[in-house]
């Protein structure tokens, strides 16, 4: 997932009955401002404010550094975009520090700060105002520590933040500035005792063992917190659509809906052609009239003509009474012809007359009936190719295709995959009486990596299956169909272009994870020797972690160990 696709529901996990909460795979616990403030007050009373501030800043530095390292390892696509300055503010908001008003990232070469951020409602400022009133000095200690640790990891060199404006002092906002340690002038001097020598290198060394043990041991899959996401849609009557292609298409559909022009909707099977027809009808002046749909490929020629045009009594054996067809039933409204390419030549001629003359003749009748009907047709085939092959009338083709709307396949609009997945998750929760609240981030990666040959229809079926089979509130990778589980989460080209050796590393590690760390199979699949694979793993620093994981798995199945 890249930065724009990150969602709190994929990163935060929680068991509704309590027990364990984790964020980015890191164990968390809930607290409140009052309890946190009391703890800080006791520390100040016992150790003094200077030592307390240093402890909180240093702990925040380690926390920010560790969060950055976890994202670097678990979400390389998001990390590749981190230098643009969007990921840090998003993480601060997700952690509940406060609301980011603006954040600007520079190159750090000039006299201006490397990072400059304006916050409101930072929890430390609010905590101080509630418990102590106005302060004489800035009080957002954990925030400057967290920002310093995060950016230090990102830059690979020590960065310190200071706070020169704070809402706890009565300022309008909290203003934080960060810069490389060597770039700070005298302004950083009062903060040096607070940071007390903590730097990128010392924290990296201190947390190395934590990270190794974290990766070596099997992860405890937690359940996700219920965020009470309401089942809504961005567009009235249409599921969420974040991609530029779909938003442009829906904007065009709105304009088309206002007039009774014939529309041809094209696209692969499962992209949602009928849903778009419903959207057009709902937003048209005909919305209070019927929308009548028929699949032209589901009936033979005789039955289809009878359904479309109707018949009079005695038109054929068994026609004991007259019956109006679907065209008349749609009078004043919209007729949707799905799989229109399957129409027979004879039916095509009759449909052309309806379009040209605005009248319909029932089977066996000599009279015609005037109809005011808008025709929207759809196909997953090329009507132009059918015309060239002599299988479809050219004049009817042009009549149907006054306006053509092509729905792109889901694989070409990956921005829609996760929003649609969340939409359908909540939909099936309501329909099936379930309480699944989101996707594990690895599940989200699988959804993004799958090619979706069945498009939205396949996605709907996959989410429904997961909702039915999932044992806990969080949708895990094993809840998905095997064809999606077997998808390798390949690095995307979103954001900054990455070096080839980084892409190779991510791919090799993904193959190993997919094959349960079986190096012999991985080497065979990758087309390299086992010795080459071991050499690369040693370069990545992953060999020791893999050995620890293997030893742990052996110990877990031996009795008494």
**Burial group, residue 375, by CB count within 10 angstroms (0-12, 13-18, 19+):** buried
User: Is 377 within 8 Å of 264 (Cβ atoms)?
Assistant: yes
Phi, psi angle pair for 63, to nearest 5°: -65, -50
Residue 441 pLDDT grade (very low, low, confident, very high; cuts 50, 70, 90):
confident
Share of the chain above pLDDT 70, in %: 85
Q: Which of 112-116, 128-132, 176-180, 440-444 has the lowest mean pLDDT?
A: 440-444
Separation CA 122–CA 145 (nearest Å): 14
Using the predicted structure, report yes or no on whether residue 24 has a pLDDT greater than 50: yes
Q: Which of 49-53, 134-138, 487-491 has the lowest mean pLDDT?
A: 487-491
Using the predicted structure, report yes or no on whether residue 460 has a pLDDT greater than 90: yes
Please give the angle made by the CA atoms of 521, 526 and 531, to the nearest 5 degrees. Answer: 75
Whether 545 is in a domain gets the answer yes
Collapsing DSSP to helix, strand or coil, 272 comes out as coil
Residue 219 pLDDT grade (very low, low, confident, very high; cuts 50, 70, 90):
very low
User: Is 422 within 8 Å of 460 (Cβ atoms)?
Assistant: no
Residue ending a domain, among 407, 428, 462, is 407
What pLDDT does residue 143 have? 95
Residue 232 pLDDT grade (very low, low, confident, very high; cuts 50, 70, 90):
very low
Q: Give the mean pLDDT of 293-303.
A: 91
What pLDDT does residue 391 have? 94
User: Is 139 within 8 Å of 125 (Cβ atoms)?
Assistant: yes
What pLDDT does residue 238 have? 60
Whether 438 is in a domain gets the answer no
First to last CA, the chain: 39
The CATH number for 551's domain is: 1.10.10.60
Predicted structure pTM score: 0.57
Neighbours of 212 (CB within 10 A): 14
What pLDDT does residue 176 have? 96
Instruction: Decide which of 409 and 210 is more confident.
Output: 409
Say if residue 303 is in the same domain as residue 351. yes
What pLDDT does residue 17 have? 55
The CATH number for 376's domain is: 3.40.50.300
Using the predicted structure, report yes or no on whether residue 395 has a pLDDT greater than 60: yes
What pLDDT does residue 225 have? 28
Share of the chain above pLDDT 90, in %: 47
Residue 469 pLDDT grade (very low, low, confident, very high; cuts 50, 70, 90):
very high
Beta strands in 46-139 (DSSP E): 99-105, 115-120
What pLDDT does residue 530 have? 85
The crossing angle, in degrees rounded to 10, of helices 200-216 and 141-155 is 80
Say if residue 152 is in the same domain as residue 262. no
Strand order in the sheet with 12-14: 12-14, 21-23, 26-28
Residue 464 pLDDT grade (very low, low, confident, very high; cuts 50, 70, 90):
very high
Say if residue 200 is in the same domain as residue 275. no
Residue 209 pLDDT grade (very low, low, confident, very high; cuts 50, 70, 90):
low
Q: Which range has highest mean pLDDT (170-179, 210-219, 240-249)? A: 170-179
What pLDDT does residue 164 have? 94
What pLDDT does residue 4 have? 62
Whether 402 is in a domain gets the answer yes
Neighbours of 432 (CB within 10 A): 12
Whether 470 is in a domain gets the answer no
Question: pLDDT by residue (tens digit) across 249-275?
Answer: 999 999 999 999 999 999 999 999 999
Q: Give the mean pLDDT of 103-108.
A: 86
What pLDDT does residue 82 have? 77
Collapsing DSSP to helix, strand or coil, 185 comes out as coil
Say if residue 275 is in the same domain as residue 161. no
Separation CA 59–CA 53 (nearest Å): 10
What pLDDT does residue 490 have? 53
What pLDDT does residue 498 have? 65
Say if residue 207 is in the same domain as residue 253. no
Say if residue 197 is in the same domain as residue 338. no
Say if residue 163 is in the same domain as residue 48. yes
Residue 228 pLDDT grade (very low, low, confident, very high; cuts 50, 70, 90):
very low
Q: Give the mean pLDDT of 2-20.
A: 64
Say if residue 211 is in the same domain as residue 248. no
What pLDDT does residue 235 have? 42
Q: Which of 14-18, 182-186, 463-467 has the lowest mean pLDDT?
A: 14-18
Using the predicted structure, report yes or no on whether residue 199 has a pLDDT greater than 70: yes
Q: Give the mean pLDDT of 25-42.
A: 84
Say if residue 37 is in the same domain as residue 169. yes
Write the DSSP string, 3-62.
Answer: GGG--HHHHEEE-TTSS-EEETTEEE----HHHHHHHHHHHHHHH-HHHHHHHHHHHHHH
Instruction: Decide which of 332 and 553 is more confident.
Output: 332
The CATH number for 69's domain is: 3.30.1380.20
Say if residue 507 is in the same domain as residue 387. no
What pLDDT does residue 224 have? 34
Residue 15 pLDDT grade (very low, low, confident, very high; cuts 50, 70, 90):
low
Residue 123 pLDDT grade (very low, low, confident, very high; cuts 50, 70, 90):
very high
Of the candidates 381, 304, 392, the residue with the CA atom closest to the CA atom of residue 348: 392
How many domains are contained in the chain?
3
pLDDT averaged over every residue in the chain? 84
Using the predicted structure, report yes or no on whether residue 30 has a pLDDT greater than 90: no
Separation CA 28–CA 131 (nearest Å): 25
Residue 229 pLDDT grade (very low, low, confident, very high; cuts 50, 70, 90):
very low
Whether 284 is in a domain gets the answer yes
Phi, psi angle pair for 440, to nearest 5°: -60, 150
Using the predicted structure, report yes or no on whether residue 311 has a pLDDT greater than 50: yes
Collapsing DSSP to helix, strand or coil, 492 comes out as coil
Say if residue 401 is in the same domain as residue 534. no
Q: Which of 279-283, 378-382, 444-448 has the lowest mean pLDDT?
A: 444-448
Whether 507 is in a domain gets the answer yes
Using the predicted structure, report yes or no on whether residue 217 has a pLDDT greater than 60: no
User: Is 410 within 8 Å of 421 (Cβ atoms)?
Assistant: no
Separation CA 464–CA 28 (nearest Å): 30
Using the predicted structure, report yes or no on whether residue 86 has a pLDDT greater than 70: yes
What pLDDT does residue 216 have? 46
Q: What is the signed CA dihedral for 302, 306, 311, 316, rounded to 10 degrees?
A: 30
The runs of H, that is alpha helices, within 177-243 are 192-195, 200-216
Collapsing DSSP to helix, strand or coil, 78 comes out as helix
**Long-range contact set of residues 92-95: C-beta below 8 Å, sequence gap at least 24:** 92/119, 92/143, 92/146, 92/147, 94/8, 94/11, 94/12, 94/23, 95/23, 95/146
Say if residue 251 is in the same domain as residue 150. no
Using the predicted structure, report yes or no on whether residue 360 has a pLDDT greater than 70: yes
Structural tokens at position 340: 């229109």
Question: pLDDT by residue (tens digit) across 511-552?
Answer: 887 777 888 888 888 888 888 888 888 887 655 445 444 444
Domain interval for residue 543: 500-557
Whole-number Cα distances in Å, 554 to 313, 341, 516, 544, 560? 80, 60, 14, 15, 12
Whether 111 is in a domain gets the answer yes
Whether 440 is in a domain gets the answer no
What pLDDT does residue 80 have? 77
User: Is 200 within 8 Å of 154 (Cβ atoms)?
Assistant: no
What pLDDT does residue 211 have? 67
């Amino acid at each position: 997932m890249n930065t724009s696709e990150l969602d709190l529901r994929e990163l935060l996990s929680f068991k509704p009955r309590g027990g364990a909460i984790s964020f980015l795979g890191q164990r968390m616990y809930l607290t409140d401002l009052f309890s946190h403030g009391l703890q800080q007050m006791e520390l100040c009373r016992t150790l003094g404010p200077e030592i307390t501030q240093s402890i909180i800043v240093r702990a925040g530095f380690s926390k920010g550094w560790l969060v950055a390292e976890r994202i670097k390892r678990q979400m390389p696509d998001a990390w590749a975009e981190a230098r643009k300055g969007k990921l840090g503010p998003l993480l601060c908001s997700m952690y509940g520090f406060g609301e980011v008003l603006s954040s600007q990232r520079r190159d750090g070469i000039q006299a201006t700060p490397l990072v400059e951020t304006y916050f409101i409602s930072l929890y430390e400022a609010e905590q101080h105002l509630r418990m102590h009133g106005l302060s004489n000095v800035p009080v957002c200690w954990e925030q400057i520590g967290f920002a310093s640790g995060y950016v230090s990891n990102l830059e690979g060199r020590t960065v310190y933040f200071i706070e020169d404006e704070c809402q706890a002092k009565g300022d309008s906002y909290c203003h934080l500035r960060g810069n490389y340690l060597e770039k700070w002038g005298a302004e950083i001097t009062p903060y040096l005792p607070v940071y007390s020598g903590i730097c990128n290198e010392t924290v990296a060394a201190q947390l190395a063992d934590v990270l190794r043990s974290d990766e070596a041991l099997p992860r405890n899959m937690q359940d996700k917190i219920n965020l009470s996401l309401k089942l809504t849609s961005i567009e009235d009557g249409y599921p969420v659509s974040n991609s530029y292609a779909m938003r442009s298409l829906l904007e065009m559909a709105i304009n088309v809906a206002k007039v009774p022009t014939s529309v041809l909707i094209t696209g692969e099977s499962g992209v949602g052609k009928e849903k778009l027809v419903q959207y057009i009808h709902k937003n048209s002046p005909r919305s209070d009239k019927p929308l009548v749909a028929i699949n032209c490929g589901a009936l033979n020629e005789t039955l289809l003509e009878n359904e479309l045009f109707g018949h009079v009594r005695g038109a054929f054996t068994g026609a004991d009474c007259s019956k109006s067809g679907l065209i008349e039933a749609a009078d004043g409204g919209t007729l949707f012809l799905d799989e229109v390419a399957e129409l027979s030549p004879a039916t095509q001629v009759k449909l052309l007359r309806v379009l040209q003359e605005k009248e319909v003749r029932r089977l066996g009748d000599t009279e015609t009936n005037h109809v005011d009907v808008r025709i929207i047709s759809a196909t997953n085939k090329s009507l132009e190719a059918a015309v060239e092959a002599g299988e479809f009338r050219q004049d009817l083709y042009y009549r149907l295709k006054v306006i053509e709307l092509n729905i792109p396949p889901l694989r070409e609009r990956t921005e829609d995959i996760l929003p649609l997945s969340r939409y359908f998750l909540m939909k099936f929760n309501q329909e099936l009486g379930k309480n699944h609240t989101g996707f594990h981030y690895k599940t989200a990666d699988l959804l993004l990596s799958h090619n979706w040959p069945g498009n939205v229809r396949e996605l709907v079926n996959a989410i429904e299956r997961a909702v039915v089979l999932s044992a806990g509130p969080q949708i895990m990778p094993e809840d998905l169909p095997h064809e999606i589980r077997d998808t390798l989460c390949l690095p995307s080209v979103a954001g900054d272009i990455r070096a080839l050796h980084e892409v190779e590393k991510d791919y090799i590690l993904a193959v190993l994870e997919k094959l349960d760390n079986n190096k012999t199979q991985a080497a065979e699949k990758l087309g390299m020797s086992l010795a080459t694979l071991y050499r690369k793993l040693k370069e990545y620093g992953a060999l020791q972690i893999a050995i620890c994981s293997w030893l742990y798995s052996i110990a877990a199945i031996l009795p008494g160990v």
